[in-house]
């Protein structure tokens, strides 16, 4: 099967969607399929093509970025030349989605709806009419967690929705040796945060909670909020207990999970739709403390089963949950066992790859008549 994935970015750009696309594409290639990923080139206007992990990666030249959306004329040009059996769109990326709708209507198309667009209201107002057409034109829509069914944009497409939780290669997270110096001569418990330093990650609320917690914090990631959050740490008097590790190679992440006592995802807004880093932490045997956003965060991390779930934007609630777990090693061990059992049952990479391939086969078997095409015949 010839499979084409379309999104805006791809590793080494860090991000949950980017990592998901890579894992899915490489997993499909491992099954013998011919897989191409079409994204944009963050380095500039030149189009670069490379073979990575058995996947053909086309990084189409990028001419500008507006409201976190890379603009590329080369991407639709590359798409026009492609002849895949299945196109897999990864929403949100308007340039890719509209290009597919314009150039390949009738093509077997699957879309993973990763999250609602929350912040870019002006862009969304312009895009909403086109988004409606895109969603009507695709033949199946994948959601990563049950709460995504409630999205207003998916209300009229419930019959197309397919739940496929995101998966990771669990084995590489189960055993790892903490890097030298991370635990050496440290008497305080260790909290870990991994993610892009964007507003919706809520790291500022964890920093505000830290004066009430007798622990240190490791922060993995970079992003536009870093300078502001470093200043907040200094102003709050906790800067000496926070280690900013910046970008960490994917291969080194398992060791950091094993160096921590708790993983914390203090997300503050619904842009955090799933939290794949929670799955990684749980696979490593870490209990998780996350926030209840009405998205997939609390679907992944189940309160009392794999960790604790607290209200968002509430430093006191974060501190109380973290302190209770740090004071109770037996409870942490129970939750860690529950976390590893849950990821093995629901979030193993081979399970996800198999479910998506079966969905492709179903779309191809049923034919490729979209809702939009049916309406045009009436």
Q: How confident is the model at residue 183 (pLDDT cuts 50, 70, 90)?
A: low
At 35, list the tokens.
């897989």
DSSP 303: B
Q: Which residues pair with 288 in a beta bridge?
A: 263, 307
Q: Which range (121-130, 201-210, 320-329, 333-342) has the least confidence?
A: 121-130
What is d(CA 197, CA 374) in angstroms, rounded to the nearest whole number? 44
Per-position b or e across 197-225, b if 16+ CB within 10 A of its CB: bbbbbbbbbbbbbbeebebbbbbbbeeeb
Domain definitions of the chain by residue range? 2-167+349-377, 171-346
* pLDDT per residue as tens digits for the range 98-116: 999 999 888 999 999 999 8
CATH 3.40.50.2000, applies to 2-167+349-377: yes
Alpha carbons 11 and 347: distance in angstroms, whole number: 21
Task: Using CA atoms of 332, 338, 341, 345 in order, give the dihedral in degrees to the nearest 10.
Answer: -140
Sheet holding 86-91, edge to edge: 48-52, 55-61, 34-41, 2-6, 86-91, 109-113, 140-143, 161-163
Give dist(CA 329, CA 306) in Å, integer.
14
Would 2-167+349-377 and 171-346 be classified into the same CATH topology? Answer: yes
Give dist(CA 149, CA 124) in Å, integer. 19
User: Pick the residue with more confidence: 69 or 4?
Assistant: 4
Torsion of the alpha carbons at 339, 344, 346 and 351, rounded to the nearest 10: 160
Mean pLDDT, the chain, integer: 92
Task: Report the side by side order of strands in the sheet with 216-220.
Answer: 242-246, 216-220, 190-194, 262-265, 288-291, 307-310
Percent of the chain with pLDDT strictly greater than 70: 92
Listed residue (176, 7, 35) closest to 100, CA to CA: 7
Statement: the pTM of the whole predicted model exceeds 0.85: yes
Q: Which residue has the higher pLDDT, 182 or 97?
A: 97
* pLDDT the model gives residue 106: 83
Please tell me the distance from the alpha carbon of residue 262 to that of residue 254, in angstroms, as a whole number.
14
Q: Does domain 171-346 have CATH number 3.40.50.2000?
A: yes
More confident residue, 185 or 119: 119
In this prediction, residue 14 carries a pLDDT of 82
- pLDDT category at 375 given cuts 50, 70, 90 is very low
User: Which DSSP letter does residue 45 get?
Assistant: S
DSSP label at residue 178:
P
Q: Where are any strands of DSSP class E within 166-287?
A: 190-194, 216-220, 242-246, 262-265
Q: Which H/E stretch holds residue 352? A: helix 349-366
First to last CA, the chain: 32
pLDDT of residue 66: 86
CA atoms within 13 A on the CB side of 145: 22
pLDDT tens across 248-282, in order? 988 899 999 999 999 999 999 998 999 999 999 99
Strands 69-71 and 64-66: antiparallel
Mean pLDDT of 29-54: 97
At residue 376, the pLDDT reads 32
pLDDT value at 377 more than 50: no
Please write down the long-range contacts of 311-317, taking CB distance under 8 Å and 24 or more positions apart: 312/202, 312/205, 312/266, 312/267, 312/268, 312/269, 313/202, 313/205, 313/268, 314/205, 315/205, 315/206, 315/208, 315/209, 315/212, 316/209, 316/212
The pLDDT of residue 122: 61
CA angle 343, 330, 337 (to 5 degrees): 15
Going by pLDDT thresholds of 50, 70 and 90, the confidence category of residue 181 is low
User: Is residue 374 pLDDT above 50, yes or no?
Assistant: no
């Amino acid at each position: 099967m010839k499979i084409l994935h379309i999104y805006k970015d791809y590793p080494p750009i860090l991000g949950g969607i980017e990592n998901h696309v890579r894992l899915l594409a490489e997993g499909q290639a491992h099954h013998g399929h011919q897989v191409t990923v079409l994204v944009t080139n963050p380095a500039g206007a030149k189009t670069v093509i490379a073979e990575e992990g058995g996947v053909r990666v086309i990084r189409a030249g990028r001419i500008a970025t507006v409201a976190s959306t890379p603009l590329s004329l080369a991407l639709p040009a590359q798409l026009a030349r492609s002849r895949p059996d299945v196109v897999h769109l990864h929403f949100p990326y308007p340039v890719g989605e509209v290009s597919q709708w314009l150039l390949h209507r009738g093509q077997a198309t699957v879309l993973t709806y990763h999250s609602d667009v929350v912040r870019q209201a002006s862009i969304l107002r312009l895009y909403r009419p086109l988004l409606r057409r895109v969603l009507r034109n695709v033949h199946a829509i994948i959601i990563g967690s049950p709460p995504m069914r409630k999205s207003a944009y998916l209300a009229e497409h419930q019959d197309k929705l397919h739940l496929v939780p995101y998966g990771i290669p669990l084995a590489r997270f189960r055993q790892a040796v903490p890097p030298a110096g991370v635990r050496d001569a440290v008497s305080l418990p260790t909290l870990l945060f991994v993610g892009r330093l964007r507003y919706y990650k809520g790291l500022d609320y964890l920093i505000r909670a830290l004066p009430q917690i007798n622990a240190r914090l490791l922060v993995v990631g970079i992003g536009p909020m870093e300078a502001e959050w470093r200043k907040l740490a200094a102003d709050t008097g906790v800067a000496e207990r926070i280690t900013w590790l910046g970008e960490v190679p994917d291969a080194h992440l398992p060791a950091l999970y094993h160096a921590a006592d708790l993983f914390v995802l203090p997300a503050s807004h619904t842009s955090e739709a799933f939290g794949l880093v929670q799955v990684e932490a749980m696979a490593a045997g870490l209990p998780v403390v996350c926030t209840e956003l009405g998205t997939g965060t609390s679907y992944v991390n189940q309160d009392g089963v794999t960790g604790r779930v607290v209200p968002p934007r509430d430093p006191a609630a974060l501190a109380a949950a973290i302190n209770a777990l740090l004071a109770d090693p037996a409870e942490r061990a129970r939750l860690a066992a529950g976390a590893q059992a849950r990821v093995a049952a629901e979030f193993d990479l081979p399970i996800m790859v198999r479910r998506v391939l079966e969905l492709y086969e179903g779309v191809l078997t049923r034919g490729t008549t979209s809702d939009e095409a049916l309406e045009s015949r009436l």
